[in-house]
């Protein structure tokens, strides 16, 4: 055998050790080559009488992240070619056979007559974990880095190499469905508890333990291939089964609103598969897999949430030639709500933090937030006391600006007041090294304006976090007019270090995300004013694919903040820039009713004290809006369209205005920043997906009914006429 992606050694007991170790890559991935070599290995183990069994492990720091999704994309391209040249049926036959190759290979491994054991350390996800599941025995390393799981659903796919069949044969159906629906990464002990692994051992011992199992006569037959096998939840058609399936259907609807074909396919595949012997069950899974692989939702989600997100994280927007920065010490000025969160994520990433506020007490208070967050982790068993000591040891809280001299980057998060910012910029610049980069976390003030306070505007950049900082995955980097390459590169390197996803936007009011979010919240407010029942606004928003309704979202960010933004916009730009109906509603909520949002337990919702039940829409809303429209007369599709179209239009405007210059950033930013219906692939993919022509037609209808905020920008009208797309346009610009 001539192997390049695996090493094969056979020990004196006749146990083969297969080490997956792809040259020139930091991580193993399933590629066509890997699949071909693994097939050769399985045949070799199966046919050589001297080989008693086989242990599969990895030569890398991690086991493997799963399949190379570009390989799957390639399949789609081949399908399209065949469909054109040989017809749909021939293309589908090819596609089905190709897309089930991995599943057949794993089944061959499972039934080849020799015992296989997997020795897993580090992440082992997707198709790689399906390989482990096909092995007859699984040993996981007890190391904290070890995680297993089937995250396919997160990119609109589903586990198509046996995952939907082997998992529900290992655990109760309800638990299996949850695992497949959520796609979470599971720690070793937890995985063992769930029945996903047989043994957990220190990293250095996993291979020996796996070999010991083979040596002790480990069986080469999977439990489900034994005649007397019973699935943990029993038969589908049984009283127990009937306790599972009707609620499972309801949960599926509640969680997805039928927007995710992959989730439905999981449900179908498990339901049908559990009624069949394994080989047939796998064939059923393969049919669904082929169907999902070709869905537009999978294509959109893979592009945005896997490919584009990965490219942006790896520095797609990093200025070519900018020297790599080594960030050791980061200063944070303003230890309030945001600064405290930024200090935590920075220290968490291993950097030293100088946390400055007006006095020692305020700085200490900011630092204590990190104490709280790590303590929460300790209580959940996810961190040790030593981790907390180390993390807090990296944060120096002080009122002394002089301490910033050691910093490579300083981020200010002081009050959103141009005068305060001006003073802080001057004081910081007097203290830092000439090569240190200065970043502002402002959410509304133009970066180019703030940079006027700076004596080194090329070293000045915006790094806009979202709250809560420790949870939100997106960071907007704002390029001011004078921002230079070194500042941009440093900001990108910093965001990479704290393991978040950056988008780079040009300086404009609201940048990118807040503009779209603002449009979404405004639409909710206006619907309320029109008399749409608030529960319908909230529920239809979720049915359209948003994680939370606009009223709920406004409660989270603060109703008073929304009023503040409206007032500031009016003062700075003028009456025409705001919507009077929204202003009226917000004034009534904040000034008259004192309803500020979740922070004071009263917003569009009432928030009962802990343990007193969940939030409920505030009944008083009935008196704030217009006369209630009878729910049955409301066009639900129109409400759903309004809520998504208004955001997508705003995203399109940011492209026209060149605030956003790369469609990948708008798409990734809209999903990670404010949860824009992920199955669409993001705000611009939503337009591309239905075609600009149809989108413009919908927008025009809404414009006629609801006013000029739905007027499509010129760029979209042109795209509608030419049949263009945002991604096609970006390719053309890049090529020119």
* Residue linked to tokens 């969940």: 614
Q: Looking at 338, 355, 395, 698, which residue binds ligand NAD (CB under 6 A)?
A: 338
* Per-residue tokens: 517: 């979010």
237 makes contact with ligand NAD (CB under 6 A): no
Shortest distance in whole angstroms from residue 358 CB to ligand NAD: 5
**Long-range contacts of residues 567-576, Cβ cutoff 8 Å, at least 24 apart:** 568/444
CA angle 273, 275, 278 (to 5 degrees): 55
Q: Indicate the residue among 367 and 664 with the shorter CB distance to ligand NAD.
A: 367
Q: Indicate the residue among 356 and 543 with the shorter CB distance to ligand NAD.
A: 356
* Per-residue tokens: 355: 């946390």
Q: Indicate the residue among 334 and 724 with the shorter CB distance to ligand NAD.
A: 334
Q: Looking at 337, 384, 613, 628, which residue binds ligand NAD (CB under 6 A)?
A: 337
* Residue linked to tokens 């929304």: 562
Scan residues 62-101 and list those touching ligand NAD (CB under 6 A).
Answer: none
Q: Which residue is nearest to ligand NAD (CB)?
A: 336
443 makes contact with ligand NAD (CB under 6 A): yes
Torsion over CA of 200, 201, 206 and 209, rounded to 10 degrees? -90
Q: Indicate the residue among 109 and 333 with the shorter CB distance to ligand NAD.
A: 333
Cα distances (Å, whole numbers) of residue 558 to 105, 141, 549, 601, 603: 54, 45, 14, 11, 8
Taking CB under 6 A as the binding criterion, the range among 304-312, 331-339, 604-612, 691-699 that sits at the site for ligand NAD is: 331-339
Torsion angles phi and psi, residue 222, rounded to 5: -70, 150
Q: Looking at 299, 356, 526, 692, which residue binds ligand NAD (CB under 6 A)?
A: 356
Q: Indicate the residue among 362 and 392 with the shorter CB distance to ligand NAD.
A: 362
Q: Indicate the residue among 414 and 696 with the shorter CB distance to ligand NAD.
A: 414
Q: For the window 384-423, what string marks contact with ligand NAD as x by the rule CB under 6 A? A: -----------------------------xxxx---x--x
Cβ proximity of 684 and 666 under 8 Å: yes
Alpha helices in 87-226 (DSSP H): 88-99, 101-111, 127-134, 163-166, 173-182, 188-194, 206-215
Distance, CA of 184 to CA of 191 (rounded, Å): 11
342 makes contact with ligand NAD (CB under 6 A): no
Q: Indicate the residue among 556 and 593 with the shorter CB distance to ligand NAD.
A: 556
**Long-range contacts of residues 304-307, Cβ cutoff 8 Å, at least 24 apart:** 304/664, 304/667, 304/668, 304/671, 304/681, 304/682, 304/685, 305/154, 305/155, 305/668, 305/671, 305/678, 305/681, 306/69, 306/155, 307/69, 307/70
465 makes contact with ligand NAD (CB under 6 A): yes
User: 3-class secondary structure for 492-509?
Assistant: HHHHHHCCCEEEEEECCC
Scan residues 293-312 and list those touching ligand NAD (CB under 6 A).
Answer: none
Number of residues that bind ligand NAD (CB under 6 A): 23
Computed on alpha carbons and rounded to an integer, the radius of gyration of the chain in Å comes to 28
706 Cβ contact list (under 8 Å, min separation 6): 526, 642
**Is 706 marked active-site?**
no
Residue 656: other Cβ atoms inside 10 A: 13
364 makes contact with ligand NAD (CB under 6 A): no
Distance, CA of 449 to CA of 357 (rounded, Å): 23
Cβ proximity of 669 and 251 under 8 Å: no
Distance, CA of 142 to CA of 119 (rounded, Å): 11
Q: Indicate the residue among 319 and 675 with the shorter CB distance to ligand NAD.
A: 675
* Per-residue tokens: 284: 């059923």
Cβ proximity of 540 and 592 under 8 Å: no
Taking CB under 6 A as the binding criterion, the range among 302-310, 334-342, 379-387, 527-535 that sits at the site for ligand NAD is: 334-342
Q: Looking at 19, 442, 501, 725, which residue binds ligand NAD (CB under 6 A)?
A: 442
According to DSSP, the β-strands at 395-398 and 352-356 are: parallel
Shortest distance in whole angstroms from residue 355 CB to ligand NAD: 10
Q: Indicate the residue among 228 and 471 with the shorter CB distance to ligand NAD.
A: 471
Scan residues 580-639 and list those touching ligand NAD (CB under 6 A).
Answer: none
Among candidate residues 464, 525, 641, 706, the one labeled active-site is 464
Taking CB under 6 A as the binding criterion, the range among 43-51, 64-72, 130-138, 357-365 that sits at the site for ligand NAD is: 357-365
Shortest distance in whole angstroms from residue 424 CB to ligand NAD: 5
* Per-residue tokens: 615: 């939030």
Cα distances (Å, whole numbers) of residue 193 to 224, 323, 409, 510: 19, 47, 44, 47
Element (H, E) at 257: none
Distance, CA of 131 to CA of 112 (rounded, Å): 14
Cβ proximity of 641 and 702 under 8 Å: yes
Cβ proximity of 100 and 36 under 8 Å: no
Q: Indicate the residue among 290 and 333 with the shorter CB distance to ligand NAD.
A: 333
220 Cβ contact list (under 8 Å, min separation 6): 53, 112, 113, 114, 115, 116, 136
Q: Indicate the residue among 358 and 705 with the shorter CB distance to ligand NAD.
A: 358
Q: Indicate the residue among 230 and 358 with the shorter CB distance to ligand NAD.
A: 358
Cβ proximity of 199 and 209 under 8 Å: yes
Q: Looking at 10, 212, 322, 362, which residue binds ligand NAD (CB under 6 A)?
A: 362
454 makes contact with ligand NAD (CB under 6 A): no
SS3 call for 691: coil
34 Cβ contact list (under 8 Å, min separation 6): 5, 6, 20, 22, 28
Q: What is the DSSP letter of 288?
A: H
- Kindly give the interhelix angle for 173-182 and 261-273, rounded to the nearest 10 degrees: 150
Element (H, E) at 619: none
Q: Indicate the residue among 66 and 334 with the shorter CB distance to ligand NAD.
A: 334
470 makes contact with ligand NAD (CB under 6 A): no
Q: Which residues are catalytic?
A: 464
**Chain residues that interact with ligand NAD, rule: CB under 6 A:** 333-339, 356-358, 362, 413-416, 420, 423-424, 441-443, 465, 467
């Amino acid at each position: 055998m001539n192997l390049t992606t695996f090493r094969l050694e056979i020990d004196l007991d006749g146990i083969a050790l297969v080490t997956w170790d792809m040259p020139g890559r930091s991580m193993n991935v399933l590629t066509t080559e890997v699949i071909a070599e693994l097939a050769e290995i399985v045949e070799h183990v199966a046919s050589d009488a001297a080989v008693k069994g086989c242990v599969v492990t990895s030569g890398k720091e991690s086991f493997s992240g799963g399949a190379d999704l570009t390989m799957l994309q390639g399949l789609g391209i081949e399908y399209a070619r065949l469909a054109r040249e040989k017809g749909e049926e021939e293309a589908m036959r090819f596609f089905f056979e190709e897309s089930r190759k991995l599943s057949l290979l794993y089944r061959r491994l499972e039934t080849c007559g020799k015992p296989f054991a997997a020795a897993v350390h580090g992440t082992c996800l997707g198709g790689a974990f399906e390989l482990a599941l096909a092995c007859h025995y699984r040993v996981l390393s007890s190391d904290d880095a070890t995680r297993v799981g089937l995250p396919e659903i997160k990119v609109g796919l589903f586990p198509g190499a046996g995952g939907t069949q082997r998992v529900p044969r290992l655990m109760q159906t309800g638990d299996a469905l949850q695992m497949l629906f959520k796609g979470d990464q599971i720690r070793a002990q937890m995985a063992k508890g769930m029945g996903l692994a047989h043994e957990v051992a220190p990293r250095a011992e996993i291979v020996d333990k796996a070999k010991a199992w083979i040596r002790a006569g480990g069986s080469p037959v999977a439990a489900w291939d034994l005649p007397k096998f019973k699935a943990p939840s029993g038969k589908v058609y049984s009283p127990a089964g009937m306790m599972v399936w009707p609620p499972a259907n309801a949960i599926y609807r509640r969680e997805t609103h039928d927007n995710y074909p992959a989730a439905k396919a999981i449900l179908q595949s498990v339901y049908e598969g559990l009624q069949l012997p394994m080989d047939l069950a796998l064939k059923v899974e393969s049919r669904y897999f082929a169907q999902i692989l070709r869905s537009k939702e999978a294509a959109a989600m893979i592009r945005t949430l896997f490919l584009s997100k990965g490219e942006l994280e790896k520095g797609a927007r990093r200025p070519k030639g900018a020297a790599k920065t080594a960030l050791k010490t980061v200063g944070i000025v303003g230890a309030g709500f945001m600064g405290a969160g930024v200090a935590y994520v920075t220290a968490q990433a291993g950097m030293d933090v100088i946390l400055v506020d007006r006095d020692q007490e305020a700085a200490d208070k900011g630092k204590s937030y990190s104490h709280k967050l790590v303590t929460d982790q300790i209580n959940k068993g996810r961190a040790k006391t030593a981790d907390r000591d180390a993390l807090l040891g990296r944060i120096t809280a002080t009122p002394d600006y002089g301490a910033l001299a050691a910093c490579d980057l300083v981020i200010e998060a002081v009050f959103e007041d141009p005068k305060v910012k001006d003073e802080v910029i001057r004081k910081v610049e007097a203290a830092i090294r000439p090569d240190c980069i200065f970043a502002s976390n402002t959410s509304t003030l133009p970066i180019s304006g703030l940079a006027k306070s700076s004596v080194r505007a090329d070293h000045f950049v915006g790094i806009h976090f979202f709250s809560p900082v420790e949870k939100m995955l997106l960071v907007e980097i704002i390029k001011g007019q004078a921002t230079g390459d070194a500042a941009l590169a440093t900001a990108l390197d910093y965001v990479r270090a704290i393991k978040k996803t950056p988008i780079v936007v040009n300086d404009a009011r609201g940048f990118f995300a807040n503009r779209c979010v603002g449009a979404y919240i405004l639409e909710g407010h206006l619907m309320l004013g029109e008399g749409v029942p608030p529960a319908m606004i909230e529920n239809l928003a979720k049915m359209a694919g948003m994680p939370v309704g606009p009223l709920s979202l406004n409660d989270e960010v603060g109703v008073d903040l929304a009023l503040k933004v409206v007032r500031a916009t009016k003062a700075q730009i003028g009456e025409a820039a705001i919507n009077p109906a929204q202003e009226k509603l917000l004034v009534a909520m904040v000034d008259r009713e004192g309803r500020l949002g979740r922070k004071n337990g009263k917003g569009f919702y009432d928030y009962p004290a802990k343990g007193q039940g969940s939030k409920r829409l505030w009944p008083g809303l009935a008196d704030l809006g217009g006369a209630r429209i009878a729910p049955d007369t409301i066009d639900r599709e129109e409400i759903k369209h309004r809520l998504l179209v208004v955001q997508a239009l705003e995203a399109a405007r940011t492209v026209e205005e060149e605030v956003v210059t790369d469609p990948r950033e708008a798409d990734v930013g809209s999903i990670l920043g404010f949860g824009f219906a992920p199955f669409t692939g993001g705000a611009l993919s939503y337009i591309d997906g239905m075609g600009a022509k149809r989108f413009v037609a919908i927008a025009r209808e809404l414009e006629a009914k609801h006013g000029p905020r739905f007027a499509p920008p010129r760029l979209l009208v042109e795209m509608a006429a030419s049949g263009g797309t945002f991604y096609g346009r970006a390719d053309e610009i890049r090529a020119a």
